[in-house]
Every structure is written in C-alpha cells, then in structure tokens.
Amino acid sequence: MARHGRDDSQPHRQRYRCSGCGARFDDLTGTILAGHHQPLRVWVLCLYLMGLNLSNRRIAHELDLGASDVQAMTEALRQGLTAKLPPVILQGEVEIDEVYVVAGHKGNPAAVAKKDAPGAAGG
C-alpha cells in the first residue's frame, strides 16, 4: 500500500493505491460511509444526534441539511449497524415471557379493569 494523492471532492482525505492490484481506496472504502458526499464529521454528528433519539427533521435542522439527505443517512447508519451484528443463535432451554393486550381496550385500562371485575359479563 502506498499513498496516492487526495480525494477530489474532499482534499483532506488521503487516498492510497494497493501495490498488489493497483486499486485506489481511502479510509472509508468498504464501509457504509463510502461513496457519500457528506464529510465524516457530519456522519458522526448525525449518529450522535440519532443516539439522542432526535427525529430526522430535527437532525436535518441541527446539521443544516435537507430532510431527504438525513433520511438517507439515518437509514444507511441503521442498516450498517444492524448488518454488523452477529446472528442470534439460541441454545439449550429458552424461556420467553408473553404479553397479552386486549386490542379493543388499548389505551383504556379502566375498560379492561371493569371487564375483569367479579360479576362482570364474560369475566
């Protein structure tokens, strides 16, 4: 590997050339950040703001970017992060708790309590 100039669109980014095959690459080649026009610092800030659980609209405002750019960035970051997770392999005895939600009374716990009261119809 040998240094081979700078990136055309981002002069601060060093480019390299593989001495074996002659291919050019930089530090982001092969990552989810490769081929995007935003600087690395914007990606890091976007990831930080995602960690604060901000909406894409708010992230776009904070980074002074378009909503569609931020949508593409957050999707790429989420996909890239989940793609790196190892597959879950369950072994041995596995216990799962279940949750039961009455769809007709969702958000109305008083109706559920009333239905389950002694002497209530169907209870």
Q: Which of 31, 26, 24 is nearest to 11 (CA)?
A: 26
Q: 3 pairs with which residues across the strands? A: 16
Residues 6+ apart with CB under 8 A from 6: 12, 13, 14, 15
Instruction: Write out pLDDT tens, residues 3-60.
Output: 555 555 556 667 777 878 877 777 777 777 776 678 888 999 999 999 999 999 999 9
Structure confidence at residue 123 (pLDDT):
47
Ranges of each domain in the chain: 1-30, 34-86
Q: Residues 54-97: pLDDT tens digits?
A: 999 999 999 999 999 999 999 988 887 776 667 888 889 888 88
